[in-house]
Amino acid sequence: MESAGEEQGKGCCARVSETEEAVDGGRKCKLYVIELSFGDREWTVKRRYSEFVRLYEEMRKARTVPVGLPSLPPKGLFSRQNEVFFQNRRRRLDEICEFLFSRENAAFFLVQNRACYLFFGLDSLPHRAREAEPAQTSDPGTHGDEIAKQEECLSILSGVVQKQREIGRRLQSKITFQASSVAKLQEQSEALRERIKKEEGRVGGGL
């Protein structure tokens, strides 16, 4: 069994891998298949373009649109919606999913924003019972299970953020060390140039 640290180290990822044909209300439509991983769990959700539009609308209403969020691809004229059009749209939607689900600065946003939480199917993740906690009677009138899932998601995401920050600190330490080495080399180079000038001066004075 993997430890919590190993699970958290796996991080989270979302990608729009492909499109699928579907029928809704007797009309053909495109579904965008989003493959997700969260800790050691993997699952798939399928969303229509209109659901992406609704997600943006809900985030705007709640004033929870993150800074730097890519814009939605255009709807496009029906007559121009060929396979190339849908593949280009898929790539744009993939960028959006990656931004919302994978970026460090979006980790806590995912759990705190209900629209994103439901859009990515985080509510469907199986909740792991905590052995140390006493059994509690469930109240159908409350959102206890959903809150517990959100807390668990937040715990995993917190571990991901901490790991990324640790990597960042290590990189910063390496950069600082390299900068110090470069500064020393520059000092040595300057000292060498001074010595060369002095030697040239002695040689010139002796002629």
Query: Contact at 8 Å (CB) between 102 and 14?
Result: yes
Which domains can be identified in the chain, with CATH numbers? 4-124 (3.30.1520.10)
**pTM score, whole prediction:** 0.59
Query: How would you write the pLDDT of the chain (207 residues) with one tens digit per residue?
Result: 344 334 434 567 889 999 999 988 888 889 999 998 877 788 999 999 999 999 999 999 988 888 888 999 988 776 567 888 999 999 999 999 988 886 554 555 676 778 888 898 887 776 544 333 444 444 554 556 666 666 666 666 666 666 667 777 788 888 988 888 888 888 888 888 888 888 877 776 665
The dihedral over CA atoms of 99, 105, 108, 112, expressed in degrees to the nearest 10, equals -60
Which residue from 201, 116, 199 is spatially nearest to 157, judged by alpha carbons? 116
CA distance linking residue 4 with residue 167, whole number of Å: 18
